[in-house]
Amino acid sequence: MSASPSTVQVIEARGLTRSFGDDRAVDRADLAVAAGQIHALVGLNGAGKTTLMKLLLDMLRPSSGSGWLLGDPVDGAGAAVWSRVGHLIETPFGYPELTVTENVVLAARLQGLDRPSARRESLLIVGELALDRWADRRSRVLSLGNRQRLGLACALVHEPQVLILDEPTNGLDPKGVLELRRLLLSRAHGAGVGILVSSHHLDEVARIADRITVMHRGRVVGVLDPDGVDLERRFFDMVYAAEQEGSWTQPSQPRP
Amino acid sequence: MDAAVATEALKLRRSPVARTAWLAVVLGAPALSAGFIAVARAGGDGQLAVKVAAMLPDMGWIGYLGMIGQISTVAMLLAGGIVTAWCFGREFADGTVVGLFAIAVSRRRLAAAKFAVMLGWSLSACGATVLLGVAVGLLLGLGPLGSDALGGVAMDLVAAMLMALLALPLAWVASARRGYLPAVGALLLVVIVTQLVTVVGAGAWFPYAAPGLWVGMGGAESAAAVGPVQLLLAIPVCAAGIWATTAWWARAQLT
């Protein structure tokens, strides 16, 4: 499953910090995702995974530190950067009054595709994510899982070079989880897309990730080997050790 | 068509709120005005007949168009305010605002596109109201449209559009407060303050009262006190609201 990703970093967090009042939601987080790599971000609820992703997507401004996408700083990034980035954070993209196809076309056009390209790419991704049956239905009638598929379709339609996905398997049935796994693996290892994905499902993460970063209380506390045994046990050991230490040390050098 | 404008136009076309509000304005003003004319024509000593007779300077085009103008100025503020509140506030209420970050179209441009489609919606509502009003007036047998009546038509259109422009700053409330309900609350506050200002006699210089007074809401004397300067105060109010809203969207964060 592990491929040989390039060494070109397409997603970087350099000392990113964000506080909300006294709560330091993300604390000096360093992270790097290479082109063609699937980098998983795991941690307990409230560990700061979503906040870190929002900082990387300029949805929040950091208190300090910087985020970088495709070699450009996130702060002040324009269409040239964002048109190559796809994301699914919190609520999957989809206007309830628009059909599935209209939503995907809209997402494509907002990412810079012209109308004919948006239409063509939308038909392809709707098929790839098994949404054909609902293509002309208003998205308000979709189940939770299919709304998640719609959100994924909107994140992928413009063939981005970077994907940042927060809990992408939320609401997906087992078939959907398999389809998403296949899709992410093909995008990363086949098309060289750099993917940062957060998940609570360690077994799923083990199947697709090239690298796993663990966050706890806003900090990066370690890296796990996805090929090692008993990933769940190692995750909890790392989190428990971080909790016990009290003062948060940076992890040792990540493995190449 | 620009992607941002096309996106916002599609969303507005599909919106039950926008459709209902449009119909309420376009059908409501001519229907109510025709009703008042019918009551006045029937005459009699009933309470309604007496009140209507006091409101209408005459039962011809001037009286009828004046009534349309008064009703549509109120209607355009309410309808335009509610649709504006929805257009901007629903992104937060529905959670769709997340999808408007980290995309190739800037949020400033998206906000500008929302204002562009709102202006189009407002123009179509004002124009359709006046056209339908004229059609209903002809059906009522008010006679051919003379120059005075055409002047009344133009006044109604201008007054209604000014109120539509004055509704747009509510977008800033919907954005900064992250929902459409706070903006609806602000709209109610504006209506209340407008009434108070008018009662104390300062309505001519209050942008939200001037168009309604101009088309006769406070009688002939109040109408005469409203000139172009007072009416054009709507422009800077609208411009300030658009500037503040687009600036807010450009710097917005998902806190």
Strands (E), B122-174: none
Nearest CA in chain A to B104: A79
CA of B253 to nearest chain A CA: how many angstroms apart? 5
The Cα A90–Cα B254 span in angstroms is: 11
Q: Which of residues 164-223 of A touch B (CB under 8 A)?
A: none
Q: Which two tokens stand for residue B56?
A: 């209408």
Give the integer Cα–Cα distance in Å for A180 and A191: 15
The Cα B210–Cα B229 span in angstroms is 10
Eight-state DSSP code of residue A99:
B
Q: What is the ipTM of this complex?
A: 0.90
Nearest residue, CB atoms, B96 vs list A89, A91, A112: A91
Which of B167, B68, B158 lies closest to B114 in space, CA to CA?
A: B167
Residue-wise pLDDT tens digits, A124-179: 999 999 999 999 999 999 999 999 999 999 999 999 999 999 999 999 999 999 99
| Dihedral sign of CA atoms B196, B202, B206, B212 in order | positive
CA distance A85 to A209: 19
Going B36 to B40 to B42 to B46, the CA torsion angle's sign is positive
Q: How many angstroms away from the CA of A151 is the closest CA of chain B?
A: 9
Mean pLDDT of the region A114-121 = 96
> Which band of pLDDT confidence, cut at 50, 70 and 90, is reported for residue A256?
very low
Sequence-ordered strand ranges (E) for A47-148:
64-69, 72-73, 85-88
Which pair of tokens denotes residue A150?
């719609």
Contact across the interface for A97 and B3, Cβ inside 8 Å? no
Does the beta-carbon distance from A106 to B10 stay under 8 Å?
A: yes
Q: What is the pLDDT of residues B68-120, one digit of tens each?
A: 999 999 999 999 999 999 999 999 999 999 999 999 999 999 999 999 999 99
Partners of B255 on chain A (C-beta within 8 Å) are 20, 60
Interface contact A95-B96, CB threshold 8 A = yes
The model's pLDDT over B68-77, given as tens digits with 9 standing for 90+, comes to 999 999 999 9
On average, the pLDDT of chain A sits at: 92
Q: Which of A91, A98, A111 sits opposite B14 (nearest CB)?
A: A98
- How many Å separate Cα B99 from the centre of its chain? 30
Beta strands A162-166 and A85-88 are: parallel
Torsion of CA B73, B74, B78, B83, to 10 degrees: -20
Distance of CA A12 to the CA centre of its chain: 13
Percent of chain B with pLDDT over 70: 100
What pLDDT was estimated at residue A6?
66
Residues A155/A163, Cβ–Cβ less than 8 Å: yes
Across the interface, do A97 and B15 touch by the CB < 8 Å criterion?
yes
Q: CB neighbours (10 Å) of residue B141?
A: 8
